[in-house]
Amino acid sequence: MWPAEGAVAQCLTPLFARHGFRWVASDEGVLARSGRHGYRVEDPGVLCQPYRVIEKDSESAVTILFRNRRLSDAIGFEYGRVTDPEAAAAAFVGSVKALAAGGQGDRDLLVTVILDGENAWGGYRDDGRPFLHALYRRLVSDEGIKTVTVSEYLDGNSPRRVPARPAAEQARVYELFTGSWIDEWDSAPGVDLGTWIGEPEENTAWDLLTEVRSLLAKAGRTPASHSEAFRALYAAEGSDWFWWFGSDHQSDADEAFDDLFRNHLRAACRLADVEVPSELDRHIVPHRALWTFSAPVDTIQAGDELIIRTNCPGNLSWTIDGWVTIGEAALRPVGGVMAGAARYAVTLGPFPASSVVRFTFRCGQPGCAGDSPCCRGDERAVSVARMG
């Protein structure tokens, strides 16, 4: 298994072993930070081999491999920009052979290539077919290179003259570092787990997931008794939800990810016939609520923004709780010719919980008779709810 972004930890070893995983893979950056003094991953003899990882005071052990980041990222992010696919393939094979030249003695080296850029082929000419044909042709024809799957390498393959590498013959990695291939922006140098946890949005999502899991456990629900509920829970445990929460990554769809994540947790509760926590109604990331005269919004959540959109130009004045804050702004055009009829909008907020936003729109359209709903100057109100 390649865990999410190669995220591993020493304490996970019994979990991997108990569920039948013979091997997992991570990144060379994790190996570099493992042990008391780290491992010299720039040495091919250190990086290019399988390791055993054993949990302290436990017989549980799994094999772990560490990907060569430079070779993996070259395929994922660089070779797609090379005009000649034969030249790119030759460069890759040349890099592999250079590793072999830097190895130790006659011992075989296992070069582990795992693409983080798993969507790389769209950046290649013809979806990468010319490059892949050139690459595999060179790998197969080179007598010094043998392509193998991980299981084939560990179990051996007599017809292909691949010897077995049983666990007892594998070197042990000590004090496996807790991390992934990622070095979160603005964090201390080195791989970590910061892209999934630590920021308020991420931590809130983990708290909600923990609460729902605890509710199912207290109610005696199990995957056997309520399989559909746990399917919904497992969907919420996907790493990508936490990847997009926080400020370190932006999806341009954070509101949708937030809603979908909490919907999975709600579904888990409903399918398990347990009460849905009120905290699941609270937005994790700020939402933007659109208010129009044809579709007014009565309530928004604390932390959300309120977009007031009209068909006419004009000015908006607003107050919070009638006296705390007074503001006024001209609505700006949105849309345009290509988007159809022109619209005008202004964004307000966020606002404190348990407050009421009151606003009045004054039409600025020349010759306006002032008799349509948007032009009468009526005061409108939107409540700001404290959820959960």
> Residue 373: what pLDDT?
77
> Residue 186: what pLDDT?
63
Q: Nearest CA to 116 among 38, 180, 189?
A: 180
> Residue 19: what pLDDT?
93
> Residue 260: what pLDDT?
97
Q: Which of 237, 258, 281 is the last residue of a domain?
A: 281
> Residue 251: what pLDDT?
83
Residues 36 and 129 in one domain: yes
Which pLDDT tens digit goes with each residue over 111-169? 999 997 668 898 999 999 999 999 999 999 999 999 999 999 999 999 999 999 998 89
329 within a domain of the structure (yes/no): yes
Domain extent, residue 215, equals 200-281
Residues 344 and 261 in one domain: no
> Residue 107: what pLDDT?
79
246 within a domain of the structure (yes/no): yes
What percent helix, strand, coil does the chain show, rounded to 5? Answer: 35, 20, 45
> Residue 324: what pLDDT?
61
> Residue 55: what pLDDT?
79
Q: Which of 259, 281, 303 is the last residue of a domain?
A: 281
Phi/psi region, residue 356 (left: phi>0; alpha: psi -120 to 50; beta: rest), is beta
> Residue 189: what pLDDT?
63
Residues 48 and 130 in one domain: yes
Residues 225 and 296 in one domain: no
Rounded to an integer, what distance in angstroms lies between the CA atom of residue 217 and that of residue 220?
A: 5
Count Cβ atoms within 10 A of the Cβ of residue 83 and give its class: 0-12 exposed, 13-18 middle, 19 or more buried.
exposed
Alpha-carbon distances of 233 from 124, 268, 319, rounded to whole Å: 37, 5, 42
Residues 303 and 207 in one domain: no
**In CATH, what number is assigned to the domain containing residue 353?**
2.60.40.10
178 within a domain of the structure (yes/no): no
**In CATH, what number is assigned to the domain containing residue 8?**
3.20.110.20
Around Cβ 365, how many Cβ atoms within 10 Å?
16
Residues 165 and 210 in one domain: no
Residues 163 and 296 in one domain: no
> Residue 104: what pLDDT?
62
Q: Which of 240, 262, 281 is the last residue of a domain?
A: 281
Instruction: Look up residue 273 and give its DSSP letter.
Output: T
Q: Nearest CA to 153 among 168, 135, 134, 166?
A: 166
Residues 232 and 372 in one domain: no
3-state secondary structure of 167: helix
What total number of domains does the chain contain? Answer: 3
> Residue 327: what pLDDT?
84
Give the start-end residues of each E strand in the chain. Answer: 23-27, 51-54, 61-67, 171-172, 288-291, 299-301, 305-310, 314-320, 325-330, 332-334, 343-348, 355-363, 379-385
- The residues of the chain scoring below 70 in pLDDT are 57-58, 103-105, 117-118, 185-190, 323-325, 335-341, 388
Residues 230 and 353 in one domain: no
